[in-house]
Amino acid sequence: MSMYRWQVMNRIAERRIVGIVRAINAETAVQAAITTVDAGLDVVEVSLTTPGALDAIAEIVRSRPDAVIGAGTVLDEPTARLAALAGARFLVSPSLSRQVLSTGHRYGLAVLPGVATATEIVTALESGADAVKLFPARASSPDVLRDLLQALPQAPVVPTGGITVENAPAWIAAGAVACGIGSAITSGDTTTVKTLLTTLNPTP
């Protein structure tokens, strides 16, 4: 099933969490991602620091075609293209690369470049970013995000790096579109995934 960039971003905004998988090999990454998806979190990013990450993305997409699977730690244009061909629906970078943005958009992928300052947020938005990854979030705080959004309320921010199950609700309350969370929710503990999803998405 193909998806437009806005549909991918809608899914991310609805779930409020991007599960981040970093693993020692492709097989472990596939297992972690599928377990996370089956627990209810169908937005998962596989870091390209994982050996065999592109093969893992392709396998996860085949196994769970309705899930939104992305590639993380995308640093350059060739890698962005390979991730798109593997079936990724969004790209995440630790920094701002216009080449990654343009390549991702050429293939219809949402792109979330890494930023750390108001200047970088504005530059990323001017460059066409679908959202920005506030990274590393541990160097910031929900209060800092709240201040940034006072000046830049139009910025869709996804804090990543140091986000925990415990502090994620505070980041969402501060205005984050979603939070990127790693092993705390992609380690196979389905109860933690379900509890956090319920906490961040309470039933009206």
Residues marked as catalytic: 45, 133
- In this structure, are residues 35 and 190 in contact, taking their beta carbons and an 8 Å threshold? yes
- In this structure, are residues 72 and 52 in contact, taking their beta carbons and an 8 Å threshold? no
Token output for 74: 């995308």
CA 46/CA 56 separation, integer angstroms: 8
Write out the DSSP string of 164-200: -TTTHHHHHHTT-S-EEE-HHHHSS-HHHHHHHHHHH
Residues 6 or more apart from 100 whose CB is under 8 A from it?
A: 74, 75, 76, 77, 79, 80, 91, 93, 111, 113
Amino acid type, 119? T
Stated as kind and residue range, the H or E segment containing 118 is: helix 118-126
Say which DSSP state 160 is in.
Answer: B
Instruction: Using the CB atoms, write b or e for 4-34: b if 16+ within 10 Å.
Output: ebeebbebbeebbbbbbbbbeebebbbebbb
